[in-house]
Amino acid sequence: MEARNGTNIGAGSESALVALETDDEDEQPATPRLIADHPLVSAAPATPRGARIVLPIVVGTRPEAIKLVPVILALRESEYYEPLVVSTGQHHKIVNYIFELVGIKPDVTLWAGARHSELNERVSSVMTRFEDFCAERFGADQDRVHTAEDILNGRFPAAVLVHGDTSSAMAAALSAFHMRIPVMHVEAGLRTSSNLSPFPEELNREVITRVAALHFAPTSTNLQNLIRENVPVGQIFVTGNTGIDALQWATTLDVRFANPELQALCDSDRRVVVITAHRRENWGDGLVDIGEGVARLAAAQPDVSFVLPLHPNPRVREVLGARLSGLDNVLLTEPLGYATFARLLKRSYLVITDSGGVQEEAPSLGKPVLVLRETTERIEGIAAGTLRLIGTDPDRIVAEASRLIEDPIAYAEMAHASNPYGDGKAAHRIVAALEHVLLGSDPPEQFGPGYSRHAIARAAGLALPESLAMHELDEATSIPQG
């Protein structure tokens, strides 16, 4: 298939590329296409049994694949939807490994963003190629009015689902907005409040928020962030994080490590510290410091083994590889498959990471996490006591990790399973919410209590113990037993 710039954008529809319209705003149709003929606004159709509503789902990177797989599978289970998997090509290889694990084949690959660092190139390429794909597959030209019937019969997408904060997600959301296809945002409302950290993800999230019609917020903290930015509460649904759905599944799999050294290490009784680092704002000095900190930590803790699956990005591999290869108790590996990485996390003693997803996964496995960043959008784990922000200073890395390795009380304070991010049912909540929004079925219940125990305690000037058995609570508060 030929895209407008003459490059091949992968398999998709057979039809010729639809000519694209002028940029002249005066020539845009006077009436936005969705006013009367989208199921969201037309007289609610009776839930059409057997209808196949097409929802393109845009996947660019490994974490998006991991967190969208449960949504894709849940949509496939539903009798109403046809999820259309659009892989942008940002992390083509590792995205496909994840899809292969569950038998998903992308419906189209846009092959955008082959170069690693050029954000503008990636964003513009995803925007135009996604539009080309929609034009070819659906005839998404600006003048044509798409009726509710078109949408309910799969001839035009009801909405585009994007996830999180990647350049792929932001570009596809903006592209869909320009085509007047509603955008629905999975993992909405995470914020650090600094556009430089994580860079460029924080701004990507904010842009998607401005564009999206429906926001699937993992937690009530994320909902609160969106409300603070004037997103109407009626457009937000709290789901839990779909990453926890994926992790709960992955940790049930009985997988072995392809790397024999890693398998032998995990079969031994040595303590294992898992390290990952890849964030753009740590490129350069940050990664040099992380490499230095880990090297010194490994020298200071010879009885502990350190495993670092290298991110595929060459900028990351070169720096960490140069400082850490050849050290006795440091094992550098290729990126692990998702199921084996989940197994490694479960086997680990401690996690040191700048990853977003790992900050959600490790707490739910009861593993303390030292976060190699100055800010985090995952404040639920900080409140629960399982995450600690330490930045990238080598001395601090050595001191904080050594304390957890040497002091069992400090370790026990951080190592308790806590699931503030989800209960494994997020994907089904999302599908049920889509059915409610698009087809008028009953609304599902949100994730979590809707209020935060920690916020209430803080406001009341109280320090609540982490967990208090119900009978102790009853005694403490004299609540009569039922």
Residue 17 or 283: which CB sits closer to ligand UDP?
283
CB of 271 to ligand UDP, least distance (A): 19
Contact 141, 135 (CB under 8 A): yes
In the annotation, is 187 catalytic?
A: yes
Residue among 351, 358, 382, 426 that touches ligand UDP (CB under 6 A): 358
Binders in 291-320 for ligand UDP, by CB under 6 A: 309
Which residue pairs, CB below 8 angstroms and at least 24 apart, start in 102-109? 102/69, 102/73, 104/69, 104/72, 104/73, 106/10, 106/59, 107/11, 107/12, 108/9, 108/10, 108/11, 108/12, 108/84, 108/133, 108/137, 109/9, 109/10, 109/11
- The H helix count followed by the E strand count for the chain is 20, 13
- Phi, psi at residue 322, to the nearest 5°? -60, -40
The rounded distance, in Å, linking the Cα atoms of 108 and 12 is: 5
Contact 239, 429 (CB under 8 A): yes
Interface with ligand UDP, residue 190, by CB under 6 A: no
Residue among 9, 55, 59, 66 that touches ligand UDP (CB under 6 A): 66
Contact 216, 68 (CB under 8 A): no
In the annotation, is 77 catalytic?
A: no
The rounded distance, in Å, linking the Cα atoms of 282 and 372 is: 9
CB of 441 to ligand UDP, least distance (A): 31
The rounded distance, in Å, linking the Cα atoms of 297 and 400 is: 10
Residue among 34, 56, 58, 62 that touches ligand UDP (CB under 6 A): 62
Binding-site residue total for ligand UDP (CB under 6 A)?
16
Binders in 215-244 for ligand UDP, by CB under 6 A: 243
- Phi, psi at residue 273, to the nearest 5°? -105, 125
Strands (E), 16-94: 53-59, 81-87
Interface with ligand UDP, residue 357, by CB under 6 A: yes
Using the structure block, give the residue that is written with the tokens 């060459």.
314
- Here's the x/- map for ligand UDP, 115-154, by CB under 6 A: it reads as ----------------------------------------
The rounded distance, in Å, linking the Cα atoms of 303 and 60 is: 39
Residue 106 or 335: which CB sits closer to ligand UDP?
335
Helix H or strand E segment including 274: strand 271-276
CA proximity to 45, closest of 146, 150, 148 = 148
Binders in 359-378 for ligand UDP, by CB under 6 A: 361
Contact 238, 217 (CB under 8 A): yes
In the annotation, is 278 catalytic?
A: yes
Residue 176 or 246: which CB sits closer to ligand UDP?
246
- Here's the x/- map for ligand UDP, 259-278, by CB under 6 A: it reads as -----------------x-x
Residue 47 or 333: which CB sits closer to ligand UDP?
333
Interface with ligand UDP, residue 63, by CB under 6 A: yes
Residue 74 or 336: which CB sits closer to ligand UDP?
336
Q: Which one of the spans 49-57, 293-301, 335-343, 463-471 is the region binding ligand UDP (CB under 6 A)?
A: 335-343
Interface with ligand UDP, residue 381, by CB under 6 A: no
Residue 245 or 361: which CB sits closer to ligand UDP?
361
Using the 8-state DSSP alphabet, how is residue 309 labeled? E
Interface with ligand UDP, residue 189, by CB under 6 A: no
Interface with ligand UDP, residue 335, by CB under 6 A: yes
CB of 404 to ligand UDP, least distance (A): 21
Residues facing 352 on adjacent strands: 275, 370
- Supply the residues annotated as catalytic: 165, 187, 201, 278, 280, 311
Interacting residues with ligand UDP (CB under 6 A): 62-63, 66, 243, 276, 278, 309, 335-336, 338, 341, 355-358, 361
